């Protein structure tokens, strides 16, 4: 993929360069928005993922149609999700707390037995950048604890700096969600899970090269690299977890963005939770932030210069990279947005 990209870019540079339209981000209620689920995964039970929740439109009774993002219970009062799930394309919060419900303890979005929880407060990370998805985090404070809150406990966050190296390249990551089963849509009602390796920052930057993309130290990439398994539209905000030697689970990432899901040579991009312990604890009181030097949000290690998030279209060679966040729009799943036709 990258060799083809470089060859195409070189050919395109022979032509005129034009900058056009800002990218379409998932999390916006556009008709042409990509919608997502886990690709190449398998059905699972909420008892295996008791911290996973669905973020729903409060005004829609059908859980399947109401669902548009995922989240993780980090306590019985707080859900960690993606900022782009609750903001518009400029990064401004587009919901009131009353617009949202959180669905806890339910495997099937159209099943029985779950707990639909009202939201009391929405807090977006103050350094969230809607152009490149840096610091793509939001906290939802619940109006009450889940009815089954005493049985599931809380998913601990990975410690600041990841001293045990649980997110080192090659480590296994697990993801779960109700997002699209593929880039063409097709959404499950039953929770899905998948496992794949974490990749190095160098590999992530190679997959998303500047100046078209901006990969920061607050992002972590994961995927098999062959397009067989990935998070997809509708999975945004859900967890990426890792395990220690004794099998203990830790929240390491929040599903954020990527190119068309299931694209070979491309990885899903997740928020690196270890960089945000200070902010999460400051807002929610949750987390052990010993050794955390700050509240998250950090330096850019690879960035586009002067593009302002716009697409680079090269005359004679059209490069169309449509970014998608792992989001599902209101109501029935929308048609998938195609990206990078190669």
DSSP for 285-308 reads --S--TT--SSS---EEE--SS-T
Residues 6+ apart with CB under 8 A from 121: 97, 139, 140, 141
Residues 71, 237 contacting (CB under 8 angstroms): yes
Name which residue leads in pLDDT, 96 or 295: 96
Q: Does the domain spanning 2-325 belong to CATH 3.30.420.40?
A: no
Residue 184: predicted pLDDT: 78
Choosing from 236, 256, 284, 292, which is the catalytic residue? 236
Question: Which is higher by pLDDT, 228 or 294?
Answer: 228
Q: 44 phi and psi, to 5 degrees?
A: -140, 175
Catalytic residue among 115, 136, 235, 292: 136
Q: How many CA atoms lie within 13 A of 293 on its CB side?
A: 4
Could you tell me if 92 and 161 are in contact, meaning their C-beta atoms sit under 8 angstroms apart? no
Q: Encode pLDDT of 257-285 as tens digits.
A: 999 898 999 999 999 999 999 999 999 99
State which of 5-19, 31-45, 112-126, 179-193 shows the largest mean pLDDT: 112-126
Residue 136 known to be catalytic: yes
Predicted confidence (pLDDT) at residue 42 exceeds the cutoff of 60: yes
Q: Is 101 part of the annotated catalytic residue set?
A: no
**pLDDT of res. 205:** 98
Query: What is the rounded CA–CA span in Å between residue 180 and residue 191?
Result: 11
User: Does the structure show a pLDDT above 50 at 340?
Assistant: no
For the cut 80, the answer to whether the pLDDT of residue 330 exceeds it is no
Identify the pLDDT of residue 296. 54
* 3-state secondary structure at position 342: coil
pLDDT > 70? residue 56: yes
Domains of the chain, residue spans: 2-325
Average pLDDT over residues 43-64: 96
Query: Could you tell me which of 124, 173, 165, 104 has the C-alpha nearest to residue 276?
Result: 124
- Give residue 1's pLDDT band: very low, low, confident or very high (50, 70, 90): very low
Q: Quick check: 230 and 294 in contact, CB under 8 A? A: no
Q: Mean pLDDT over all residues of the chain?
A: 79
For the stretch 148-170, pLDDT in tens is 754 566 799 999 999 999 999 99
Tens-digit pLDDT profile for residues 107-146: 999 998 899 999 999 999 999 999 999 999 999 999 999 9
pLDDT of residue 291: 61
Q: What percent of the chain has pLDDT over 70?
A: 73
Q: Is 276 helix (H, G, I), strand (E, B) or coil?
A: helix
Q: Is 290 a catalytic residue?
A: no
């Amino acid at each position: 993929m990258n060799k083809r990209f470089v060859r195409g870019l070189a050919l395109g540079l022979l032509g005129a360069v034009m900058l056009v339209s800002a990218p379409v981000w998932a999390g916006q209620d556009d008709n042409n928005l990509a919608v997502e689920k886990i690709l190449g995964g398998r059905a699972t039970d909420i008892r295996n993922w008791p911290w996973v929740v669905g973020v729903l439109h409060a005004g829609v009774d059908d859980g399947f149609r109401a669902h548009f993002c995922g989240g993780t219970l980090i306590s019985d009062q707080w859900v960690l999700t993606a900022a782009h799930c609750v903001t518009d394309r400029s990064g401004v919060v587009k919901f009131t707390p009353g617009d949202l419900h959180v669905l806890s303890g339910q495997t099937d979005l159209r099943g029985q037995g779950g707990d639909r929880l009202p939201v009391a407060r929405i807090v977006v990370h103050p350094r969230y950048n809607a152009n490149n998805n840096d610091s793509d985090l939001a906290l939802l404070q619940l109006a009450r604890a889940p009815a089954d809150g005493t049985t599931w406990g809380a998913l601990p966050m990975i410690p600041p700096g990841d001293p045990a190296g649980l997110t080192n390249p090659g480590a296994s990551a697990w993801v779960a969600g109700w997002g699209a089963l593929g880039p063409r849509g097709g959404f499950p009602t039953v929770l899905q899970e998948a496992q794949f390796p974490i990749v190095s920052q160098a590999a992530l930057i190679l997959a998303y090269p500047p100046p078209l993309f901006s990969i920061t130290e607050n992002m972590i990439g994961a995927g098999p690299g062959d397009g067989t398994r990935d998070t997809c539209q509708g999975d945004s905000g859900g967890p990426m977890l890792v395990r220690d030697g004794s099998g203990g689970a830790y929240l390491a990432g929040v599903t954020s963005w990527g190119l068309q899901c299931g694209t070979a040579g491309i990885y899903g991009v997740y928020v690196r939770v270890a960089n945000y312990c200070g902010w999460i604890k400051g807002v929610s009181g949750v987390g052990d932030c010993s050794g955390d030097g700050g509240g998250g949000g950090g330096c850019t290690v690879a960035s586009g210069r002067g593009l302002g998030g716009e697409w680079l279209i090269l005359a004679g060679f059209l490069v169309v990279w449509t970014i998608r966040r792992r989001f599902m729009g209101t109501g029935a799943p929308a048609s998938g947005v195609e990206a990078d036709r190669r």
